[in-house]
Amino acid sequence: DAKTTQPNSMESNEEEPVHLPCNHSTISGTDYIHWYRQLPSQGPEYVIHGLTSNVNNRMASLAIAEDRKSSTLILHRATLRDAAVYYCILDRVPYGQNFVFGPGTRLSVLP
Amino acid sequence: EAGVTQFPSHSVIEKGQTVTLRCDPISGHDNLYWYRRVMGKEIKFLLHFVKESKQDESGMPNNRFLAERTGGTYSTLKVQPAELEDSGVYFCASSRGSNTEAFFGQGTRLTVV
């Protein structure tokens, strides 16, 4: 299984940017990098994904290292609602989203 | 667009009984996944349907678990007979294909007593 490594927890102040790192040194050429988050008592929620180039959407930005062995999820202005567990996952195309979830990073946002 | 819906939201059953969980994916999503998180552990993949066919069932823990997706629409996951260690939250997800976002349901919390 393609594994990712993330810090167990991080803390941020409200309205400040947050950079959540992820290492995936065993990534293969066809693996997409996905980020999901899970708020308390909810199912995981899609955040963003990418292959090689940096990606932006309304929720976040994804910065992918040139060698693809690491990536960073960027929340530009953290809100209290962003407090969640964030998962960095490799999508092994074409096998589908039989994701391997790790423990993720628990993000706390302080008012 | 309606999201992924799971029924029931909670279920409490006795050891040895049978429970059936249901998942209604987003309309038009051929891919349907089952995951679960048991107490204190990480979310684990159970199986993957493409339409009505099982694409990958490598995560199914044992033969007490049976998943079906008749007609390629909704799916059921039956646990028979349930054991204490089956307690946890069961998630269903659907997607149009790989390299797209997967949409997860709210989960079914199963408690076996």
Number of Cβ within 10 Å of residue B38's Cβ equals: 16
What is the 8-class DSSP label of residue A102? -
Q: Determine the residue among B23, B90, B91, B99 to mutate to test chain A binding: the one whose Cβ has the most chain A Cβ atoms within 10 Å.
A: B99
pLDDT value for A42: 94
Interatomic CA distance for residues B112 and B103, integer angstroms: 27
Which of A2-6, B23-27, B44-48, B76-80 is predicted least confidently? A2-6
Give pLDDT tens digits for A51-95: 999 999 999 999 999 999 999 999 999 999 999 999 999 987 666
Tell me the shortest Cα–Cα distance from B36 to chain A, in angstroms: 10
Q: Are B103 and B95 in contact (CB under 8 A)?
A: yes
What is the 8-class DSSP label of residue B52? T
Residue found by looking up tokens 């659907």 in the block = B94
pLDDT value for A93: 65
Identity at B5, one-letter amino acid code: T
Tell whether B43 is within 8 A of chain A (Cβ). Answer: yes
Question: Dmax of chain A from CA atoms?
Answer: 42
pLDDT at A2 over 80: no
CA distances from B44 to A53, A100, B8, B27, B75 (A): 29, 7, 20, 24, 18
Distance of CA B52 to the CA centre of its chain: 14
Tell whether A39 is within 8 A of chain B (Cβ). Answer: no
Check A97 against B43: CB less than 8 A apart: no
Give pLDDT tens digits for A85-102: 999 999 876 667 788 899
Calculate the average pLDDT of chain A.
93
Q: What share of chain B is helix, strand, coil (3-state, %, to 5)?
A: 5, 50, 45
Q: Are A77 and A17 in contact (CB under 8 A)?
A: yes
Give pLDDT tens digits for A14-44: 999 999 999 999 998 888 999 999 999 899 9
Per the rule left: phi > 0, alpha: psi between -120 and 50, beta: everything else, B72 is left
Interatomic CA distance for residues A78 and A15, integer angstroms: 5
